[in-house]
Amino acid sequence: MRALLWLLMVLAALGPASAVAQESLPAPKLKLTPAIGWRLTAVLRVDVERDVPVLIVEGDVINSSQSERPSPTIRFGLLARDGAELHHWTARPNEARIKPGDFAVFETRLESPPPEAATVEIQTIESE
């Protein structure tokens, strides 16, 4: 049953071209929690590739401090409705260092995300 609900959610996210009833689960919400001196922007979408749902997150990490810094690691967590973490992974931005006020781009993909995921939390982890 969960697989069917997840498929309905994915097909609904694809837009009106899909032949699916309009009643489906909402796409996961985004929760951005950057560390001090960083800002995040992100866009979430769900595609279907080879009949498999794929969660895609694209965004920018912005250096809001006054000095050049190493790019942070970006941590992604899938949270259930009760806040419990179901899965997590990390990615790196496209730039090794970011100047003050500048940004780096990140993109990540997750095949077959858990259907009970209600929120995608994105955090920055300081590089050492």
- Residue range 84-128, pLDDT digits in tens: 999 999 999 999 999 999 999 999 999 999 999 999 999 999 876
pLDDT mean across residues, the chain: 83
Q: What string of H, E and C letters represents the secondary structure of 38-67?
A: EEEEEEEEEEEECCEEEEEEEEEEEECCCC
Entry pTM: 0.77
Domain annotation covers residue 62: yes
Domain contains 45: yes
Identify whether 22 is part of a domain: no
Percentage of residues of the chain with pLDDT beyond 70:
78
Tell me if 15 is assigned to some domain. no
Say if 75 falls within a structural domain: yes
**Total number of domains constituting the chain:** 1
Q: Which amino acid is at 4?
A: L
Asked whether residue 14 is assigned to any structural domain, the reply reads no
Q: Does any domain span residue 66?
A: yes
Residue 34's domain comprises 27-125
Q: 111: domain CATH number?
A: 2.60.40.1470
The first and second tokens of residue 50, run together, are: 């080879």
For residue 94, the Cα-to-chain-centroid distance in whole angstroms is 16
